[in-house]
Amino acid sequence: MNSTSRTYTSEEAKDAFLGLPESDQIVLKTVHQAEAEALNTVMNTRANVIMEDGGIKVPESITGVIDRGTHLEVDGWKISKENLGEPTLPKGEIEINAKKASRTAPQAWSKEIDGKTLWFYNYEGAKKEIEHRGEYYPTRDELLQMVNSVPWNCIEKAKALNIPLAGFRNAGNGEFDGEGVVVHLWSSSPNGDDIAQCVYFLQDFGSADGSWSDRGHGFFARSFLDNKRV
């Protein structure tokens, strides 16, 4: 087993490990025996847990996601730790919180969720922002392969990849829909002039799936650091 670890809080670890299949049972190891044994009871001995100050470390092979400090590594791809945040494009090159969605002009919208400002981009906005940052805008197939390499269902995949089920901004009515139920990630793959391809996580699904959507919708975007696997 690869010894590279990702750090979790106690609650995150409980949520993750309760979904592990019995085949993933391994011997518990700890440096704080009493605390680890108590946690192990909750998890039904389904994980190799190393208790350390500041959280719980679990093997890379369990999560499928490695936290490298500056980025995440998933299925050999180096990806940003979070979705695109506040736009870095020069003022005037992207519309912020526009009332009417566009399929051609770069746009981004902000929304406060759980005390954090999250940013949603239309297709062109995501494309221009990622280009400006000098990173790589993955195709739909690359995104699907990456996210579905993480084990468990869509909720657990999203947690591991730090993708909140924050819904999306509807291009038709300007409303934010689907919070707590779904989240979409834009890909770089176009589908004609008005549509582009995305990947979405739906809370009841076992895996993420691909779809086509109006380029004016406000979705999340996750950039890769480059176009090559490690």
Distance CA(164)–CA(155), nearest Å, equals 9
Say if CB 152 and CB 207 are below 8 A apart.
no
Per-residue pLDDT tens for 100-155? 999 999 999 999 999 999 999 999 999 999 999 999 999 999 999 999 988 778 88
Measured CA to CA, the distance from residue 172 to residue 216 in angstroms comes to 8
| pLDDT per position as a tens digit, 26-52 | 444 444 555 555 555 555 444 555 656
Residue carrying the six token digits 């954090």? 116
Give tens-digit pLDDT for 183-205.
999 999 999 999 999 999 998 88
Q: Which two tokens stand for residue 175?
A: 């409303």
Cβ atoms of 191 and 197 within 8 Å: the answer is yes
Give the span between the Cα atoms of 135 and 128, in whole angstroms: 11
- Coil, strand, or helix at residue 10? helix
Domain ranges of the chain: 5-63, 72-214
**Alpha-carbon distance 184 to 187, whole Å?**
10
54: Cβ contacts below 8 Å, ≥ 6 apart: 7
Q: Identify any residues that bridge with 67 across adjacent strands, giving them in sequence order.
A: 72
**Higher local confidence (pLDDT), 110 or 206:** 110
